[in-house]
Amino acid sequence: MRLAKYLADAGIASRRKAEELIIQGRVRVNGAPALEKGYTIVPGVDQVEFDGRLIEKEESIYILLNKPAGCISSVYDPQGRPTVLALLKDVTQRVYPVGRLDYDTEGILLLSNDGEFSNLMMHPRYETTKTYQALVRGIPGEKALTTLRQGMELEDGRTAPAEVQVLNQYEDRARLEIKIHEGRKRQVKRMCAAVGHPLIELKRTAIENLTLRGVAPGEYRFLSPGEVQSLKDKALRHRR
């Protein structure tokens, strides 16, 4: 197994970051620095140390959380706001959010200690479909919907095409369903604002075919091995 994957699986860093740690000489195998990013090891036989600490491969866990609004989806917040980790009552492993949801966004968030899985879910090349329900100001017309669907210029580049449909129309607002493969910072918020329909509320309702069914806000469940495998298989089919 590649050393970088081993480190990623142990929750030390993403695979790419682990390669940097290897090149920096911070990783030792059987007492000697491993300085090549493609270094391979035999798990359970070779002893791996990171910054002098022995690394043992943790059991991989995969959590589906229904993130409520009003908490932050990172492991630490310098402003002291509550993080999603505080919601995981009986989880002893060090897990990380797979991607981000904004402080005021609610809905499905995966957390895991499997760096390789996180990379598969987050990297745009694997085209993981994320479904959002966006309550926006005003009623978007065909022009705005077409712009959202075809892709649009944002300050960090053009967005990929999205699937967009209007779920409900109210007097002065509308609820849209938006499916995207990318995961740029505040992407849905910026897309809606750019077509003149700022967000009022945002909820992520699905990641691929995983939904919030049976998981109330603030609660979570573990993914089954079959669910994890099917997410991985789906991502790898999209490898370009």
Binding site for ligand URA (CB under 6 A): 101-102, 105, 186-189, 202
Closer residue to ligand URA (CB): 27 or 202? 202
Catalytic residue among 46, 102, 156, 233: 102
Side-chain half-sphere of 16: how many Cα atoms within 13 Å? 4
Side-chain half-sphere of 197: how many Cα atoms within 13 Å? 27
Minimum Å gap between C-beta 187 and ligand URA is: 5
Tell me which long-range contacts 170-174 makes (C-beta under 8 A, separation of at least 24).
Answer: 172/137, 172/138, 172/139, 173/135, 173/136, 173/137, 173/138, 173/139, 173/200, 174/135, 174/136, 174/138, 174/139, 174/140
Residue carrying the six token digits 């604002």: 193
Closer residue to ligand URA (CB): 43 or 196? 196
104 is catalytic: no
Closer residue to ligand URA (CB): 88 or 154? 154
Closer residue to ligand URA (CB): 185 or 239? 185
Minimum Å gap between C-beta 163 and ligand URA is: 15
Minimum Å gap between C-beta 202 and ligand URA is: 5
| Structure tokens belonging to residue 46 | 């070779």
3-state helix, strand, coil split of the chain in percent (to 5) is: 25, 30, 45
Closer residue to ligand URA (CB): 14 or 187? 187
| Structure tokens belonging to residue 183 | 């995961």
Minimum Å gap between C-beta 141 and ligand URA is: 21
Bridge-based pairing of strands 173-180 and 27-29 is: unpaired
CA angle 146, 191, 120 (to 5 degrees): 105
Minimum Å gap between C-beta 208 and ligand URA is: 16
| Structure tokens belonging to residue 237 | 């089919």
**Active-site positions?**
102
